Amino acid sequence: MNEGSPKKGKSGFISPLNRTATSVHREMPLSEGRETELALIAATLANKQLQVSKLTSAYYVKTNHKLVQENEKLEHELEEKEKEDFTVMEALEDRMNAVKCDNAEMKEKLTAARDSAWRDAMEEMASMQERLEESEYHTSSLQKRIEWLEEELASVDAFREARDKHQREMENLKKEYTEEQDKHARDSHLLRMQLMEERVRIRAEEQLLNRRHEEDVRKMAMELLTQKTRDVDEENQQLLEEKIFLSEDAKAARDEADALRQEIHKLRQNAAMAKSAEEEFTAHAVRQKREITLLREQVKTTEDNLKAVVESYEQRIQKQAREHAAALRRLTQERDEANCFAEGLRRELVKMRSLSRQMVERRTELEMFFHDALAQVRREMLEERRGGTRYIGHQHPNSSSFQRTAPRLKEGECELMLISNRRLRLSLPPPLQIGGGGSNTTWHSKESPAGDGNMGGPSLPLITLPKEELAVTRSSRLIPAKEWHYNEGGALTTRFLPSSEEPLFAHSDLSCIPNAPKLRDLQSIEISQLSWKDKERVLQILFKQLQGKSNSSKAEQCKSTGDTGDLVGGVVVNSETHTFLTE
């Protein structure tokens, strides 16, 4: 029932007016005449409500009858469509059988045509062989044949171009067909989806209407409670079930019709493709037959041309072989002359190398002798510093001559330093204070800075150096003879080892040696720092070594100088003569 219909109470149907009257009755008591009037009004309203309910029921009955008629009409139309589909399917099956028969006949015809074409081709090949054998005896006709073949070759090229063009067009058509097919599939899919959406919407609306109808019918049945309405409700339920069953059957029939329609479309496409393939195969067989004929003619022409090319190539090879032989003889003669000239140059080079090697060996030997002599003089000087003597095993009679080489130095002007490498100098301590009176005196040739003052022997001569040249004389070492060499300018220099390999002398290494010189005394010596007497001593030792007199005296010097040899690490001095050029 509708929402605006009055609700039923314990005593019957009560309208809004009845509710008002009830509320008024609750507010104040009514008289008996008033109660009778209210009862009549309530009865009148109840009769009106009953009439409205009957009219509503009659309306729903008519609507249901119309729906039943429409359902029957739809069922009749569905049966007619099924009959039409069955008729169409029978016609399609007959058409497919006819197409299959036509295809079988076409295949048989194509096979027969292929066999006949093959037989014709074989017969043509045999006839061509006979004609080729006959044409070997007719040289005059070959030129005309060649010209004709050139024209045919041009036609073949034109045919190939046309074929390529046709193939490109076919490929373009295939691409367009594929695109159209994809587009059709997309459109059909879109339409199918739209149709499905519309079906779903219609079914949803139908279900909603059915649910509303069922609710209304149930409400009316609960209100009326008559046998007639129950029968009508049962009939409606049965009709609804039949309608659902029929809608499912209609959906299945539509799906089957769509599947059959798609299958029919595919069969039509296959038939069209088979027809086009047969036409293409027939044309291809004809083209192959023509191409075989043209290729045989081209093979013959190519063989003739190849023979002519081979003959010309053999003649050219023979000519090139003669030219190569002449060039090879000429180049062989030039090579022999060049080899003779190179052999003479090689002999001269060997002579020059032997001479240069001898000169280098002599110079190296002389340099080694000179380095050994210089190292020996240096060790003698160190021994003189230690022992307070001028020469090993010899006291020079005129020791006072060295006093003249060391002038007195004024205090504060410069400092004294022993002879050493100009690049590696160590600064001496301040001048020694002598005497108890506190008078300042400097070292001179009568005293040794490292030796004992009581020995009274002369020491090395002292030289004066400016103070600014004494700052770079730290961290130096003794330089053995093997590290002396001549530079490019001819000056004598030393080869310094890396800092990690330099055998530096520490104070702890010299503390165990009696009368050992201080570390600042163990410095390298350059030629420019030696006096004339020291230079003469170096030359004397050098001449002795050149004469071969130094080998027998090295062992004795090593034994006699013990601690000195261990300290310096070089060859020990052998003083066999004490006569110098300046004495």
217-245 residue pLDDT tens: 778 767 776 677 667 777 888 888 888 88
Please tell me whether residue 302 adopts helix, strand or coil conformation.
helix
Residue 78, in any domain of the structure: yes
pLDDT given at position 120: 84
Among 106, 137, 168, where does a domain finish?
A: 137
3-state secondary structure 368-431: HHHHHHHHHHHHHHHHHHHHCCCECCECCCCHHHHHHHCCCCCCCCCEEECCCCCCCCCCCCCC
pLDDT given at position 307: 86
Q: For residue 54, what are its two tokens?
A: 């009957």
What is the pairing mode between strands 463-465 and 415-417?
antiparallel
**Are the beta carbons of 365 and 429 closer than 8 angstroms?**
no
A 10 A CB-CB count for 324 gives 10
**Are the beta carbons of 216 and 59 closer than 8 angstroms?**
no
Reported as type and span, the H/E element at residue 492 is strand 492-494
Domain containing 128: what range? 1-137
d(C-alpha 566, C-alpha 569), whole Å: 5
Residues 6+ apart with CB under 8 A from 575: 380, 391, 392, 393, 394
Residue 174, in any domain of the structure: no
Residue 282, in any domain of the structure: no
pLDDT given at position 501: 39
| CA dihedral sign, ordered 259, 261, 264, 268 | negative
Nearest to 524 by CA among 480, 462, 486, 467: 480
Among 94, 116, 137, where does a domain finish?
A: 137
pLDDT given at position 551: 56
Residue 446 has, within 13 A of its CA and on its CB side, a CA count of: 7
Q: How far is CA 451 from CA 399, 404, 521, in A?
A: 16, 21, 11
d(C-alpha 435, C-alpha 441), whole Å: 9
Residue 458, in any domain of the structure: yes
Residue 347, in any domain of the structure: no
Residues paired with 257 in a beta bridge: none
What residue ranges of the chain have pLDDT lower than 50? 1-28, 30, 389-483, 486, 490-492, 495-523, 549-550, 553-555, 560-583
Residues 6+ apart with CB under 8 A from 242: 71
Residue 33, in any domain of the structure: yes
Q: How many domains does the chain have?
A: 2
**Angle at the Cα of 292 (from 290 to 296), degrees rounded to 5?**
120
41-65 residue pLDDT tens: 888 888 888 888 888 888 888 888 8
At residue 9, what are phi and psi to the nearest 5 degrees? -100, -160
**Are the beta carbons of 372 and 484 closer than 8 angstroms?**
no
Residue 477, in any domain of the structure: yes
**Are the beta carbons of 54 and 225 closer than 8 angstroms?**
no
φ/ψ region of 393 (left if φ > 0, alpha if ψ in -120 to 50, else beta) reads left
pLDDT given at position 525: 57
Please tell me whether residue 494 adopts helix, strand or coil conformation.
strand
| Buried/exposed code over 157-170 (b: 16+ C-beta within 10 A; e: otherwise) | eeeeeeeeeeeeee
Residue 376, in any domain of the structure: no
d(C-alpha 283, C-alpha 261), whole Å: 34
Among 137, 169, 195, where does a domain finish?
A: 137
d(C-alpha 412, C-alpha 440), whole Å: 11
**Are the beta carbons of 485 and 440 closer than 8 angstroms?**
no
